[in-house]
């Protein structure tokens, strides 16, 4: 993958003047997990964040960003987002809804801006890694700058 890659996420962050770095790796189609990406890039798993897209029963679509080695606490996310329940959308819904594919979904630059929630642990670090918007490319960015840019909320949503 070429380091001159430009995705919607990268263009938006550049336009906003935010500091970030892009790191790339070969894509293993057999293992698209965030843990595999972290290991391939030599990044600490607790600082690599996966982007999940869900649908709440009251608010509609929403996004959760949690460390790759954790699981999303659906009940807590529902409560903090004003829903009684929320569930993951299907993989086939992801591209038409966000413009991104599984393994390359960034919290930045989706087709529409959805309410986004980051797990509170991301704020413990100077930088986190999120998808740059394509498989095999990650953004290394200050978590608070990213949260502020997206207008995200921070909550204890991972376990």
Whether 135 has a pLDDT exceeding 50, the answer reads yes
Q: What is the mean pLDDT of the chain?
A: 94
* Percentage, residues of the chain above pLDDT 70: 97
CATH number of 8-155: 3.90.960.10
Whether 26 has a pLDDT exceeding 90, the answer reads no
Q: What pTM was computed for the model? A: 0.94
User: Tens digit of pLDDT for each residue in 88-114?
Assistant: 999 999 999 999 999 999 999 999 999
Q: Cα 150 from chain centroid?
A: 11
Rounded CA separation 125/3 (Å): 25
Query: Residue 55's pLDDT band (boundaries 50, 70, 90)?
Result: very high
For Cα atoms 80, 143, 157, give the angle at the middle one, nearest 5 degrees: 25
pLDDT of residue 1: 40
CA torsion sign for 55, 59, 63, 66 is: negative
Mean pLDDT confidence for 21-35: 88
pLDDT of residue 47: 97
């Amino acid at each position: 993958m070429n380091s001159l890659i430009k995705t919607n996420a990268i263009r938006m962050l550049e336009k906003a003047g935010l500091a970030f770095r892009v790191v790339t790796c070969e894509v293993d189609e057999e293992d698209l997990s965030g843990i595999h990406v972290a290991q391939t890039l030599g990044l600490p798993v607790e600082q690599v964040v996966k982007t999940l897209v869900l649908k709440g029963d009251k608010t509609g679509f929403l996004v959760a960003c949690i460390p790759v080695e954790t699981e999303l606490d659906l009940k807590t996310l529902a409560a903090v987002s004003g829903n009684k329940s929320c569930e993951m959308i299907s993989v086939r819904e992801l591209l038409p809804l966000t413009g991104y594919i599984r393994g390359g979904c960034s919290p930045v630059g989706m087709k529409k801006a959805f309410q986004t929630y980051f797990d509170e642990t991301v704020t413990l670090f100077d930088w986190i890694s999120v998808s740059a918007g394509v498989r095999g490319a990650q953004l290394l960015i200050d978590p608070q700058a990213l949260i502020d840019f997206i207008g995200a909320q921070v909550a204890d949503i991972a376990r």
